Chain A
């Protein structure tokens, strides 16, 4: 791997994740990028690094590979606390007839976010209520991991309360496997956020955390625009903690209200009512960004 390629990739990782790769880690970077380069049809890791500057999907995969140990359960804690203490009671108050919640973990990676939410729903949803969690990712390998629901010992140590470990997992060889009740709550689907979304419906909570950082500005804006019609009018969109102060164009800025919940800033469809509106209203608001 050429020193220039290493510098490029180190700068990219530093900018996107604040993780520092020192020059002595060149070997590690090469080892992790080599399979991706081969998969992408690049003749060398150097060629692959060149490709990253123009290909956001590969850029995301590369950063994933280089930050492979970064996934935790209940990552950052605060969003999950805000979910149980504020969002969940508010959503339930508006859904006493339907008694169902829909949640989307967009860019689910190996599934810790989706299953963390599933654990909280198991603890806090009253009897008679149901929930489903859609977990999407651009990587089919990651979707398979979510479906298998199996995690290594090292992954289990990352931010998962011991009480939840014993309650929601069983030992499977050297790994731990999520219990069927939680796995049933989560369904997976392949989805590239950078492209138009398929028909997936509307969600009461969308988790779009720590993923926008992988995209360039126009793509980020496109995702936030498309996302609007998939968040229920009284629903919530959660971004990563470093992603909430994005510089948005005026019309897009006006599409979302910002609500501070504890240490978390939630985005909510602008002009949202406390009771669900017909979806056509939501849709036209999404297109025009206008408040009704």
Chain B
């Protein structure tokens, strides 16, 4: 008997391509996003070297079910908010940063959804100050780590444990 299970997650190369396109479209290509792959010697997840972090997540439900999460250092979050709002020196409030980070995960999550079997629906983004927490029922199925301006950016995809 054949048991069909959902494909666990997207290909890392596709996730990379999507993040790269979102990044270069809205944040310019003067400062490239540099991929950072886990050191072979390093056990498990590489460190996320930032003190202040923003995180945002969208969920996909339907033909494929999972969660797409973006985590970035506060300084990356501020920079991308300024670039998207075309603001230079004016002070930013948290609502503006949350909005921009939410739109970032919406764009990445929506494109990751289209890599997976559909039809599926995308939730509105949930944004938080601090690292993302994941339910124990979800397992990480893809992760893309990068550095931008010397600060960390992480995109991870979680799906139900099969």
Contact = CB atoms under 8 A, between A and B. Distances in A.
> A and B: direct contact (Cβ < 8 Å)?
yes
A25 B32 CA distance: 12
B137 to A, nearest CB: 27
Contact of A174 (B25, B30, B111): B111
A154 B29 contact: no
Given A174-B14, A174-B115, A27 B30 contact: yes
A174 B17 contact: yes
A173 B11 contact: yes
A194 B115 CA distance: 42
Interface in B106-127: 111, 114-115
Nearest to A154: B21
B111 A153 contact: yes
B18 A174 contact: yes
A154 B14 contact: no
Contacts of A154: 21, 24-25
Nearest to B21: A154
A277 interface: no
A28 interface: yes
Interface in A26-66: 27-28, 31
Nearest to B31: A27
Contact of B114 (A24, A25, A31, A171): A171
A175 B11 CA distance: 13
Contact of B21 (A25, A28, A31, A153): A153
A67 interface: no
Nearest to B17: A174
Contacts of A152: 17, 21
Nearest to A155: B21
B115 A173 contact: yes
Contacts of A175: 17
A152 B114 CA distance: 13
A154 B114 CA distance: 15
23 contacts: A24-B30, A25-B30, A27-B30, A28-B29, A28-B30, A31-B32, A152-B17, A153-B21, A153-B111, A154-B21, A154-B24, A154-B25, A171-B114, A173-B11, A173-B13, A173-B17, A174-B14, A174-B17, A174-B18, A174-B21, A174-B111, A174-B115, A175-B17
